[in-house]
Amino acid sequence: MMCKGKQLAPVAVSYYILVSLLASISDGNPIRRNSTVSGTSEGDISSKIITIKTNDATVNVTASNRSTGKKTNETVSNTTDIAKPTIQSADTKTDNKISISYNTEDLEEPITKDVIRRVWYKRQGESDEQPTGAECPPLGLESLRVDDTRLRASSTERFGLGAHRGRLNIQSGIEDGDIYDGAWCAGHKDTNQWLEVDARRPTKFTAVILQGRSSIWSWDWVTSYKVQLSNDTYNWTPSMNGTEEAIFEGNTDTETPVLGTLPVPVVARYLRINPQTWYENGTICLRAEIMGCPLPDPNNIYTLETDQGSTDKLDFQHHNYKEMRKFMKAVNEECPNITRIYSIGKSHQGLKMYVMEISDNPGKHELGEPEFRYVAGMHGNEALGRELVLNLMQYMCQEYRKGNPRIVHLVKETRIHLLPSMNPDGYEMAAKKGSELSGWALGRYSYEGIDMNHNFADLNSVMWDAQEIEMDKKKVPNHYIPIPEYYTSETAMVATETRAVINWMQLIPFVLSANLHGGELVVTYPYDMTRDWAPKDLTPTPDDSFFRWLATVYATTNQVMVNPDRRHCHNEDFMQGNNIINGANWHTVPGSMNDFSYLHTNCFEVTVELSCDKFPHKSELPTEWENNKESLLVYMEQVHRGIKGVVRDKDTNDGIADAIIAVDEINHDIRTAFDGDYWRLLNPGEYEVTAKAEGYFPSTRLCRVNYEPYPTICDFTLTKTPKQRLREILAKGGKIPKDLMLRLRQIRLRKLRASTKAINRRRSQ
């Protein structure tokens, strides 16, 4: 009996006829009878949807992606401080190139009164004026310009507490009693003890900065002291306060630096700090810095040792938020054709997180051109990175205008993003105290008290837990690991600044990055977190050899790191490892930006500890620029190492977004950007590389990376699977071609024959 009812449409009839054929095709799951093929369905092959939540609205950006065979949702946590991106359509013919960028910032826009009140509110008695005595620069105890031979003491408790350890902000080791303790401590408890500093030339001494002992186990500090001065170490003159010997107020805790200004500046070569009283339950221990202006002395042989600074005409000074805005605006106006300023969001206090983009076509991602970033100021008190990034902006602008071929090539072949201050709130807190008085930790954390170096999603544990459960390790994702749900909740302790940076990472296909810190002289590379939560343990990535290369490139071109005569900063000697170390083998850091960048995006990132002094005096900035200039440039050039190319659809020649690029024997894949281009950082050698995308047959080829500093081109052309072709036809309401019908029938029959033979064999046995 025939069933009565409406006649099915031809497309629907073809669909149901082919369901059984498609079920046997091995390139994916079968289409269910209740599936809906449309522009927004789960099986969509025409759209890639990116959801961006901003303070204004939720923006759904639809980018044509006819070849990926899946819908991709990248959801950024809603926050009022994430910048709203701009959507740009680049190609109306193919309708498959949608780029996303941030709005260009107008730095003429005034800072709101509410932000000014929150950030620069002055309590009663506070002043913007520089403290008396701080007009002269530091001699350099903290920055190590004063070497150990220039420090002497009346007595020493033991070697680890010798005069050479009496440096401002020096950090102790974990154990008391080792050779790396956190202060000079006298061997006797009396008022005849002293710490002596040799300036090696006539110097107008103006002030002394004192700090207590750095120690986990001991509390020791000096509560009052005298200052004595000499030109020959035999005849000593006390600092006088009128007709009486001046007594200076010392510390009330171990960490807060206290400035003691000499009533009258004194010219001398040697200065002694003579403790008079100390913490009653402790002993005589101190860390110090001396402020003094060196005077010209043609007969002094040590005058020749003065730092020569830099020949580059750059703005060497510390820039607070307002000054940084003016500076970046000036660079943009000097080089408007290659620079653009945008903001990725706001800090907790409302300060914008500005980025300078440097490119020959700013504001656009160009096919085949890699994206690079420098991030500084994650810890607000580590100010050197901030100033180096600002110097780099100005230097590249000036050299590009001069026609420097190296800089011109970098600008034309790379899209560079420079974020000088990831934690602007923290910087302003530290800057209020000044470079010498901010201490070791003031301004390190966000305004909410969050250490952003531990604030990114811990994807290491997600991956390692999955590997322990899954028997087949190849099934465990090794890249683009999703962010756990607990991390995206509104109650998660995630800083606004961290959310803004994650959003930035997801929107721009960065290839290489470096995170600039301070307080040490070493380059660390992932992983930063140990696998079993050990305090430290060597934990390499699958790309360990290339990460070691990146770290070595920076360290071996840094003028201070390569100096064999330099002393270590605090309590570890990194020179034995050529000034590089696996981050987890130094100390474990769960939730680091380096690990997150590697596991959630395509970007490789290392951390550079730039200097022993986190917040160097402005007089030291020219020398620090020269120490790091070549390193900053040569590291950027590494973005062109390895292979790059475009993965295209054979039929349309369009780029395929989200195609996976897998390198044989390296268990870490990357993905193509929205227009199908990719960059895979690799050391020289020959590699078997496979490109694969959902709905396509994979393609494999050999790619050879040479020693030349430019990438090898490895393009791929992928062919759609029959299932993918069928989906596209059905989505458009078209008819099934005869050749496709025949191919599907042949596949079905071939599989039926194979399964029948297998069944018959089992029956006969």
Residue with tokens 């005077």: 295
Question: Which three-class secondary structure state does DSSP give residue 137?
Answer: coil
Given 142, 609, 620, 728, which residue is catalytic? 609
Contact between 339 and 332 under an 8 Å Cβ cutoff? The reply is yes
Six token digits for residue 319? 């820039």
Beta partners for residue 655, in sequence order: 648
User: How many residues does the structure list for the chain?
Assistant: 765
Question: Which three-class secondary structure state does DSSP give residue 514?
Answer: strand
Contact between 363 and 87 under an 8 Å Cβ cutoff? The reply is no
Collect all residues with Cβ–Cβ distance below 8 Å to 683 and sequence separation of at least 6. Answer: 545, 546, 549, 641, 642, 705
Six token digits for residue 145? 């310009």
Residue 51 and residue 45: Cα distance in Å, rounded? 17
Active site residue 609: yes
Six token digits for residue 241? 């306060």
Collect all residues with Cβ–Cβ distance below 8 Å to 105 and sequence separation of at least 6. Answer: 341, 342, 343, 352, 354
Contact between 453 and 595 under an 8 Å Cβ cutoff? The reply is no
Six token digits for residue 181? 């303790």
Collect all residues with Cβ–Cβ distance below 8 Å to 13 and sequence separation of at least 6. Answer: none
Residue 758 identity (one-letter amino acid): A
Rounded to 10 degrees, the C-alpha dihedral 79/85/91/96 comes to -20
Cβ count within 10 A of residue 215:
20
The DSSP element (H or E) to which 287 belongs, if any, is strand 285-294
Beta strands in 130-257 (DSSP E): 151-153, 184-185, 195-211, 222-230, 237-238, 240-241, 244-245, 248-249
Q: Would you say the C-alpha torsion 558, 563, 564, 567 has a positive or negative sign?
A: negative
Q: Find, among 659, 657, 731, the residue nearest to 49 by Cα.
A: 657
Q: Where are the alpha helices (DSSP H) in 614-703?
A: 621-637
3-state secondary structure 479-497: CCCCCCHHHHCCCCCCCHH
Collect all residues with Cβ–Cβ distance below 8 Å to 761 and sequence separation of at least 6. Answer: none
Residue 162 and residue 314: Cα distance in Å, rounded? 39
Beta partners for residue 687, in sequence order: 703
Query: Cis peptide leading into 527, omega within 30 of 0?
Result: yes
Q: Find, among 156, 149, 182, 185, the residue nearest to 167 by Cα.
A: 182
Distance from the Cα of residue 400 to its chain's centroid: 25
* Residue 348 φ then ψ, to 5°: -60, -35
The terminus-to-terminus CA distance of the chain in angstroms comes to 43
Question: Which three-class secondary structure state does DSSP give residue 507?
Answer: helix
* Residue 692 φ then ψ, to 5°: -145, 145
Catalytic residues: 609
